[in-house]
Structure 1
């Protein structure tokens, strides 16, 4: 669980850094450049480990790379540019419920009543956070749809990668995904980039470099390590902490103030995440105790 939490914490920081990047870069440029940074760092490793990927997983790895990285990034950053931060955060709160539903309906994964209840509580917590946030931005239907599609893209990729990780090392898959992600991003960049002019400020490039090396490379390594040891449903619930960490970082680094309603939402989400971890552990401990008796 620790790997998943650290990855979520890093991804939450992308909300803060992303504010600087979006101000000077087009979302498509951010997607391509951040993935290129990550690919350049990991390429020497990919040359060595690519042959270790079983041929039966080759096409699936390409698909996972595309869904998890370029498609997810471009959809969410494009959506965030169109709609208000509060509405985007509310949709990110749907990730736990979307994880359960996608797993249940698309991958025939078992889901207990507790999974659905905790997912719904996490969503309620994020919706309360959004309702209490001080955001005067407009709500755009297309922006909301893009953010939701970005979440769905990431969740489907997560389920597919769970199967691949049964026969591929976490680090090997992550390195290959980052290089393939940068490659599969190229057609999107070439087709949809309208302004090829790039900013010259150091802060803008530092922001995108952070998004590529820390938020893409390091966070993906930690996330794949965590998902190989945890269930996708638990990972989906822990994803609900991403906007919580983002709000807390905004409070610390951007001096933003949080309302009482927002704090109530934060508490609900944190309690839901803790329950999702400790309730299964308590049940397992109880079964072991009953067996020992």
Structure 2
């Protein structure tokens, strides 16, 4: 039991760390440049694995599925999320994004794929209360922003982008989960990373047309951040996710995401020096409990998260 818990906590910490590390990198590099380089480098790292598997790598259904996932998950979801990191504290961003299973369940109910029952309604209510706790008592120390600035009208676009990215991920999950994915997740993740990088590349060039400025990517902490995102997150988190699915099944493995709000708070405190209040911890626990009731409670179908 302890080993299983460590596996789930480890996956959650790795997943949540992507936004904490990204917060460090975007202090020196445009977010879309960071993501474009990360995804293209990640696809290069994945190439030997897809060539080794080989079987359905070049089949059109695999490419199409990966391309759609790349646009929804990488370009929109992560693109908007990393842009939001410029004004939204990383710990709060992780909390917002961790509500994706909640939105996925809501979209599934709205589309008629799943019923709205008492458990879902109670879970939704608890999650909203948890988000309110984390947001209302968000401390500013260590974030580079004072409390007034974090909730001023100028910060609203960042929160709108964070919510928009979460909606894109949730919609993509509902849209794609009913399609049959005959390809290996490794193949799909390769096309997802490649297409995501290619979609973001022209946008990155538009925002930073002087490619010479991209040279900062080869300097110290920024380079380490990119390598961490491309290798540890794109490769390491994916293989750990596949292991969890293979051992426990997709629905049970997805429960690891319930730990993300708390993981985000802890990592933000350790790496960025952000303050964490007891109210925030209580709110993170509420979110996890609410998501469990709404999404993973017996009688509710677990939503299968798309692999990053």
> TM-score, normalised to structure 1's length?
0.78
Per-residue deviation at 1:167? 2.0
Map 1:1-293; keep pairs closer than 5 Å: 6-47=10-51, 49=53, 52=56, 54-56=59-61, 58-84=63-89, 88=93, 91-92=96-97, 94-106=99-111, 108-113=112-117, 114-135=119-140, 136=146, 137-139=149-151, 140-164=155-179, 166-196=181-211, 197-198=213-214, 199=216, 200-223=218-241, 229-231=249-251, 235=254, 239-272=257-290, 279-280=297-298
Unpaired runs of 5+ residues, structure 1, are 282-293
Residues 71-127 of structure 1 show CA distances to partners (whole Å, capped at 9, x for unaligned) of 222111112213455764563354233111222234x32144223422332232132
CA–CA distance in structure 2, aligned partners of residues 249 and 126 of structure 1: 18
Count of aligned pairs between the two proteins: 279
Contact 2:123 2:289 in 1 (8 A): no
**Pairwise CA RMSD:** 3.4
> TM-score, normalised to structure 2's length?
0.75
CA–CA distance in structure 1, aligned partners of residues 243 and 108 of structure 2: 20
Per-residue deviation at 1:195? 4.9
Per-residue deviation at 1:177? 2.1
CA–CA distance in structure 2, aligned partners of residues 225 and 203 of structure 1: 30
Contact 1:97 1:116 in 2 (8 A): no
CA–CA distance in structure 2, aligned partners of residues 46 and 164 of structure 1: 21
CA–CA distance in structure 2, aligned partners of residues 138 and 38 of structure 1: 33
Per-residue deviation at 1:27? 0.6
Unpaired runs of 5+ residues, structure 2, are 141-145, 300-308
Give 1 or 2: higher helix fraction: 1
CA–CA distance in structure 2, aligned partners of residues 248 and 141 of structure 1: 25
**Residue in 2 aligned with 1:285?**
none
- Alignment CA distance shift 1:185-1:48 (3 Å): farther
Per-residue deviation at 1:8? 3.4
